[in-house]
Amino acid sequence: MTTVAEWLSEPGAGLEVEDDFDEINTQYLARGWTDGLPVVPPTRRRIEDMLGYCDRPWNAPVATIAPNDSPATPLRIAVNAVMAGCRPEYFPVIVTAIEAMCEPAFNLNAIQSTTHLCAPLVIVNGPIAKELGINSGYNAFGPGKHANATIGRAIRLALINIGGAVPEVGDMATLGSPAKYSYCVAENESANPWQPLQVERGHPAWSSAVTVMGLECPHNVHDRESSDAEGILTTIAGTMANTGANDMYYAAHPLVVLCPEHATTIAHSGWNKARIKQFLFERARLPMYLFSKENIERRFRTGFSGRYATAGMDAPVLMVQRPEHIVVIVVGGAGKHSACFPTFGETVPITRTINTRDGKLARSIHEFRSSARGQDDLHIG
CB of 232 closer than 8 Å to CB of 279: no
CB atoms within 10 A of CB 1: 16
Query: Closer to another protein at the Cβ: 63 or 185?
Result: 63
Beta strand 337-341 with 350-353: parallel, antiparallel or unpaired? unpaired
Closest separation between CB of residue 276 and another protein, Å? 27
Amino acid at position 52, single letter: G
Query: Closer to another protein at the Cβ: 252 or 263?
Result: 252
Closest separation between CB of residue 215 and another protein, Å? 14
Residues 6+ apart with CB under 8 A from 266: 193, 228, 229, 232, 233, 258, 276
Query: Closer to another protein at the Cβ: 70 or 356?
Result: 70
Distance CA 295, CA 8 (A): 53
Closest separation between CB of residue 12 and another protein, Å? 6
Residues 6+ apart with CB under 8 A from 241: 283, 284, 285, 286, 319
Distance CA 65, CA 366 (A): 27
Q: Bridge partners of 212?
A: 122, 350
Query: Closer to another protein at the Cβ: 84 or 147?
Result: 84
Query: Closer to another protein at the Cβ: 75 or 329?
Result: 75
Distance CA 337, CA 262 (A): 8
Closest separation between CB of residue 212 and another protein, Å? 17
Query: Closer to another protein at the Cβ: 73 or 338?
Result: 73
**Under the rule (CB under 8 A), what is the footprint of another protein?**
8-9, 12-20, 23-24, 28, 31, 33, 41-44, 47, 64, 68-73, 75-76, 78-80, 82-83, 107, 109-110, 114, 157-158, 161-162, 164, 246, 250, 298, 344-346
Closest separation between CB of residue 160 and another protein, Å? 8
Closest separation between CB of residue 157 and another protein, Å? 6
